[in-house]
Structure formats: structure tokens, C-alpha cells
């Protein structure tokens, strides 16, 4: 990406970037899949990264016999009830100390911070891990119509921060999230699974490398 702005805001994906909820999503979906007799494994779980709850269910049901819309709604509600129960055990201990240190440092450097997550549980998760107050804005599954790879969640986050997409970087672990960032005109940073994605403008392997963005002249 080639624009002449410095970074004024950073939009972080939540699940898989700030905190690792993958295992909880996996356990909740596994319970549902086992009950209805469809195959579900960690490879399929990886495909759910960044994907909305209902779209995740559609992926899980790819090889199942047809399911009505009402049943789908009941299954996604059941999954969420199990997932939320698991989230109750989440605490600040589940956040890497580096994450807290880096967010504090970014604030000191006057970088605006936002969450850009497909999850409708983002507010609850932030409360559990005691990070709510670190973010100037939260854009999540509750304020969007279209899920990643659509850029809506990040465009809303930038709007909440009162910044242009070209002034913001997006930090993502999902390929769909990097695609969403690129589609919205953001500088994209791949971490975790997305650090292997060639479309990411920057690939990082440790959260502390986010600090490079605070001085980056793109
Ligand atoms: C994303 C996760 O952050 O949120 C996905 O990466 C998940 O795996 C999606 O499906 C929706 O989450 P929720 O909490 O609204 O069911
Ligand atoms: Mg993620």
C-alpha cells in the first residue's frame, strides 16, 4: 500500500489477536456438531476465523442434510449459550502481558485504538479481560450488516475514531480480515495465521511488533 499518511489509529481484531478464544469457539461448535452428527475438526474451526456466527454454522453444515432456517437459528443460539458459559471463565490472565504493555505505549504515543470484530460478544469479552477502557471505540458484530471480508466493520471503527481509513492500520489474524482491511483502504497487518498471508501489507510474529506502526511513514 502506498499512501502518504502516518498512522493515527489502529483497529484490532479481537478473537485471535487480543485474546485467544478459538478453543472456546471450537468446544462450543464441537458440542453442536457431535449432537447433530456432522464432522467438525480443528481444520474446519480454522475456517471460521473472522466469520460471523451464522456463516460459521453454514460452513459446519456444508456436508449435513438440509436444515431449516428456524433450526439454524436454534443451533446458533445453542452454540452461543455454550460459548458464553465458557467465556465466563475468561479473565485478564488470558491476555498476554505484552498486549497490555503495547496498548498502553500506543496510547502514550497518541494513537487512537479501536476494536473491529465480527463477534457480537466483543463487549462481554473486553469486560472479562478488563480491556474495555483501553479502546476509544468498539465496532463489532452488533453494528454491522455484512461480515468480513466486507470492510464494513473496519469502516465503522474508523468512523467512530473520526479518522480516514488511510490514517488507520488494521491488525488481523484472519485472511478474511486482511481482505476486509484491503477492501476498505486500510494498511493491513497480519499476525498469527494471517502472518503467512501474502496480501498483508506487513506481517508480524509478535504482538510487540505493532509498535512499529506508531512511527511508520507509509
Ligand atoms: C470472530 C471469530 O471474531 O467472531 C469467529 O473469529 C466468530 O470465529 C465470530 O464466529 C462471531 O462471534 P460471536 O461471538 O458473535 O458468535
Ligand atoms: Mg480473529
Domain carrying residue 122: 9-19+94-215
Most distant pair of Cα atoms in the chain: their distance = 54
**Catalytic (active site) residue 13:** yes
Residue 159 counted as domain residue: yes
Among 11, 40, 43, 56, say which to mutate for ligand 1: greatest number of ligand atoms within 8 Å of CB.
Answer: 56
What is the model's pTM? 0.94
Residues 6+ apart with CB under 8 A from 209: none
H helix and E strand count, the chain: 8, 6
Cβ 95 under 6 angstroms from ligand 1:
no
Sequence-ordered list of residues with C-beta below 8 angstroms from that of 48, at least 6 positions apart, any chain: 25, 29, 56, 59, 60
Cβ count near 192 (within 10 Å): 19
205 and 116 in one domain? yes
Q: Averaged over 102-114, what is the pLDDT?
A: 96
| Structure confidence at residue 206 (pLDDT) | 97
Report the nearest atom of ligand 1 relative to the CA of 49.
Answer: 6
- Tell me whether the omega of the peptide bond preceding residue 79 falls within 30 degrees of 0, making it cis: no
Residues 80 and 137 grouped into a single domain: no
Choosing from 32, 43, 51 the residue with most ligand 1 atoms within 8 A of its CB, the one to mutate for a pocket test is 51
Q: pLDDT of 72-90, one tens digit each?
A: 999 999 999 999 999 999 9
Q: Are residues 59 and 82 in the same domain?
A: yes
Note the pLDDT tens digit of each residue in 7-17: 999 999 999 99
pLDDT for position 218: 45
What confidence tens digit (pLDDT) does each residue in 41-58 have?
Answer: 999 999 999 999 999 999
69 & 111 share domain: no
**Nearest atom within ligand 1 for CA of residue 76:** 16
What's the mean pLDDT in 197-211? 97
Nearest to 18 by CA among 125, 178, 141: 125
Task: Say if residue 14 is in the same domain as residue 29.
Answer: no
Check whether residue 33 and residue 131 sit in a common domain. Answer: no
What's the 157 CA to ligand 2 centre distance in angstroms? 16
| HEC letters along 111-169 | CEEEEECCCCCHHHHHHHCCCHHHCCEEECCCCCCCCCCCCHHHHHHHHHHCCCHHHEE
Domain count, the chain: 2
Q: Which ligand has an atom closest to residue 44 CA?
A: 1
The whole-number pLDDT of residue 6 equals 86
pLDDT, position 5: 58
Position 3 confidence tier, pLDDT thresholds 50, 70, 90:
very low
Q: For residues 152 and 160, give the distance between their C-alpha atoms in angstroms, rounded to a whole number.
A: 12
Protein residue closest via CA to atom 13 of ligand 1: 119
198 has catalytic annotation? no
- What confidence tier does 1 reach under pLDDT thresholds 50, 70, 90? low
Instruction: Please state, in angstroms and rounded to a whole number, the distance separating the CA atoms of residues 26 and 131.
Output: 23
CA neighbor of 146 nearest in space, from 82, 33, 55: 55
Compute the Cα dihedral for 146, 182, 171, 136 and give only its sign. negative
**164 and 80 within one domain:** no
Q: Which of 3-7, 72-76, 115-119 has the lowest mean pLDDT?
A: 3-7
Dihedral of alpha carbons 127, 155, 22, 16, sign: negative
Amino acid at each position: 500500500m502506498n499512501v502518504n499518511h502516518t498512522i493515527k489509529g489502529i483497529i484490532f481484531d479481537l478473537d485471535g489477536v487480543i485474546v485467544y478464544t478459538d478453543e472456546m469457539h471450537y468446544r462450543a461448535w464441537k458440542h453442536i456438531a457431535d449432537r447433530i452428527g456432522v464432522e467438525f475438526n480443528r481444520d474446519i474451526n480454522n475456517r471460521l476465523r473472522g466469520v460471523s456466527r451464522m456463516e460459521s454454522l453454514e460452513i459446519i453444515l456444508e456436508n449435513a442434510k438440509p436444515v431449516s432456517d428456524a433450526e439454524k437459528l436454534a443451533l446458533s443460539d445453542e452454540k452461543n449459550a455454550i460459548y458464553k458459559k465458557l467465556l465466563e471463565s475468561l479473565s485478564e490472565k488470558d491476555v498476554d502481558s505484552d498486549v497490555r504493555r503495547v496498548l498502553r505505549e500506543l496510547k502514550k504515543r497518541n494513537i487512537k485504538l479501536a476494536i473491529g470484530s465480527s463477534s457480537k460478544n466483543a463487549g462481554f469479552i473486553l469486560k472479562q479481560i478488563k480491556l474495555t477502557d483501553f479502546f476509544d471505540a468498539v465496532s463489532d458484530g452488533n453494528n454491522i450488516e455484512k461480515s468480513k471480508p466486507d470492510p464494513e466493520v473496519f469502516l465503522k471503527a474508523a468512523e467512530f475514531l473520526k479518522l480516514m481509513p488511510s490514517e488507520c492500520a488494521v491488525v488481523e489474524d484472519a485472511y478474511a480480515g486482511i481482505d476486509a482491511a484491503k477492501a476498505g483502504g486500510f494498511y493491513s497487518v497480519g499476525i498469527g495465521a494471517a502472518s503467512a498471508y501474502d496480501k498483508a501489507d506487513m506481517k508480524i510474529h509478535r504482538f510487540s511488533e505493532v509498535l512499529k506502526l506508531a512511527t511508520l511513514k507509509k
